[in-house]
Chains A and B, each alone.
Chain A
Amino acid sequence: MTAIKWNDQQPIFRQLKEKVVELIIDGEVSEGEAVPSVRQVAADYQINPLTVSKAYQELVDESILEKRRGLGMFVTESAREKLLESEKDQFLNVEWPKIMQRVERLGLSMQQLIDEKSTQVEDK
């Protein structure tokens, strides 16, 4: 894993959890692949092992990771799908309504947005 710069607005276990989620969604860690041990992550990032365990445990509870006895922690076969599903939910239920509010406040029409999108694509 790459270096993480911790912010002071969220507990570190949550930031670590998000980092793991990101790695899985981006396909940097594949389904069925092992994640580094608690000890390894703790040593690499100089954070308490309990912090790492807490992040991993939440991911186990959400069926993103699974513990295989004696072998360690693995990404479940359905992890990516699950995460994409919940990210989409999050976007549609939380972020999108906010964007829509802003669109309405600015008085933008759907047609304007679509035109804008196609010009942006052409620019690329």
Chain B
Amino acid sequence: MTILIQAKGLSKSYGSHQVLKSVDFSVKRGRIVGLVGPNGAGKTTILKSILGLTSYDGDLKVLGLDPARQRHQIMQKVSFIADVAVLPRWLKVENALEFVTDVHPNFNLDKARYFLSKTNIPMQARVKELSKGMVAQLHLALVMSIDAELLVLDEPTLGLDILYRKEFYNQLLAEFFDEGRSILVTTHQIEEIENLLTDLIFIRDGRIILDATMEEVAVKYIEVMVSKDDAAKAEALGPVMQRDVFGRKVYLFEGISREELEPLGELHSPSVADLFVAKMKEGK
């Protein structure tokens, strides 16, 4: 099976407020997919639906299973880290390991011990005695020791300092991710993971407004720094956004070929953050 998540017409309403408006997307095996959107756009609702933590309308298959009805089977092959740390404060690290060993058939205790041995976390410590960074390390050690095909990360590095954040993704790449697994990640610190992603999904007001591989993004979106004399020519090509840098204009184009843009100036790939800002302003 190459498609791990398939959503068709996925919708969700809270009362009269529709937070997901019939979204379609899929996540293939071996991919790292960034799901990016402002607060309240529907990201967490999508993740919760995938994990079987909320009801929804429409069609959703995770590993070929129905999250609403087959959550137990799905959770054997799916793991997740949410932005709100959920480890009980009184729990000792060694008890946490025992607990996961008992409840999870695909948990590898030796692996978890090995990952923890590389940190400064004492096995006897209670969660409340650990720093926020250490709690994240503990979480990661537990999650990476589960032989999961899909890892869902919801703002996994929120509130961590730069060293822990770097270490977090370093560990994931060095010890967990391979072509047999996929990672679906939401984060506001998009610049930290943009080189990590294979695919990008933007969501706004419950609708998907961009869904492409990073290669497609690089072909479709091009930034050009244009001198004032050529500004009119650039504007005639219909840029989706413009900003001023040192008296020159930087235009972002969508779907215009490199050949057409090259005469105007130096071509750049926009950062995901710049692209995000442009797509969020579009049509508003």
Contact = CB atoms under 8 A, between A and B. Distances in A.
Nearest to B171: A43
B218 interface: yes
Contact of A45 (B179, B195, B271): B195
Interface string A19-32: 00000000000000
A101 interface: no
A47 B195 contact: yes
B268 A39 contact: no
Interface stretch (A8-16, A56-64, A79-87, A89-97): A8-16
Nearest to B174: A43
Interface string B191-223: 011011110000000000000001000100001
Interface size class of A (residues with CB under 8 A): 10 to 19
A50 B218 CA distance: 15
Contact of A46 (B30, B196, B223, B267): B196
A40 interface: yes
A8 B268 contact: yes
A94 B169 CA distance: 41
How big is chain B's contact interface, by range? 20 to 34
A47 B196 contact: yes
A2 B67 CA distance: 45
B268 A12 contact: no
Interface string B242-267: 00000000000000000000000011
A44 B170 contact: yes
B198 A48 contact: yes
B173 to A, nearest CB: 4
A9 B169 contact: no
Nearest to A53: B179
B174 A46 contact: no
A46 B266 contact: no
Contacts of A43: 170-171, 173-174
A12 B195 contact: yes
B161 to A, nearest CB: 16
Nearest to B32: A48
A49 B179 CA distance: 9
Nearest to B271: A8
A31 to B, nearest CB: 27
B177 interface: yes
A45 B166 CA distance: 10
A50 B177 CA distance: 11
A9 B269 contact: yes
Interface of B: 30, 32, 166, 169-171, 173-174, 177-179, 192-193, 195-198, 214, 218, 223, 266-271
15 contacts: A8-B271, A9-B266, A9-B268, A39-B178, A42-B173, A42-B174, A43-B170, A46-B166, A46-B169, A46-B170, A46-B195, A48-B195, A48-B198, A50-B198, A51-B195
